[in-house]
Amino acid sequence: MKTAVAIILLIILAGAALSYIVKAKKKGVKCIGCPHADTCNGCDSQAAILQKTFKIEGMHCEHCKARVEEIIGEIGGLSGTVDLEKGVALVTYEKPVEDALIKNKIEEAGFAVVEIW
């Protein structure tokens, strides 16, 4: 009797899991369990979103802030938020991008990236 109950429970759980996966796939979710599944375009093994901070010199005003955020946003898979008071940009990666590419793009606009962490 206990075995029959355990088997029924396993079947119910497996059915619920399968139903969840089917519904997610119908919605277009490509990464089940991905922390950004609603907007994900298909992750590899690195499902987590990475964030890095870029210390930038030469930003003095709202225009500078907007320009650096625009530069970061133009690189596919990235978004950025600048804190003028601290002189940093918090960069969020949705896919791997080399730090050197980001640094070069920012420096081409006349700013200096002095540290990345």
Look up the CATH number of the domain holding residue 76. 3.30.70.100
Residue 22 has what pLDDT? 63
Grouping H, G, I as helix, E, B as strand and the rest as coil, residue 59 is coil
Higher pLDDT, 110 or 33: 110
| Rounded alpha-carbon distances, angstroms, from residue 18 to 25, 43, 44, 89 | 11, 20, 22, 41
Q: Which of 4-8, 43-47, 49-53, 82-86 is the least confident region? A: 43-47
42 part of a folded domain: no
Grouping H, G, I as helix, E, B as strand and the rest as coil, residue 45 is coil
Q: Report the DSSP beta bridge partners of residue 50.
A: 93
43 part of a folded domain: no
| 36 residue type, one letter | H
Q: How many structural domains does the chain have?
A: 2
pLDDT band (50, 70, 90) for residue 34 = low
Q: What is the pLDDT of residues 51-91, one digit of tens each?
A: 999 999 999 999 999 999 999 999 998 999 999 999 999 99
Do 67 and 92 reside in the same domain of the chain? yes
39 part of a folded domain: no
Do 25 and 55 reside in the same domain of the chain? no
Please say if the pLDDT value at position 42 is more than 80.
no
DSSP element (H, E) containing 34 = none
Do 78 and 21 reside in the same domain of the chain? no
DSSP element (H, E) containing 21 = helix 2-27
What residue numbers bound the domain in which 13 lies? 1-34
Q: Label residue 2 exposed, middle or buried (CB < 10 Å: 0-12, 13-18, 19+).
A: exposed
Higher pLDDT, 42 or 2: 2
Residue 47 has what pLDDT? 47
Do 19 and 71 reside in the same domain of the chain? no
Do 56 and 21 reside in the same domain of the chain? no
45 part of a folded domain: no
Token reading at 38: 């609603």
24 part of a folded domain: yes
**Residues 30, 33, 34: CA angle, nearest 5 degrees:** 65
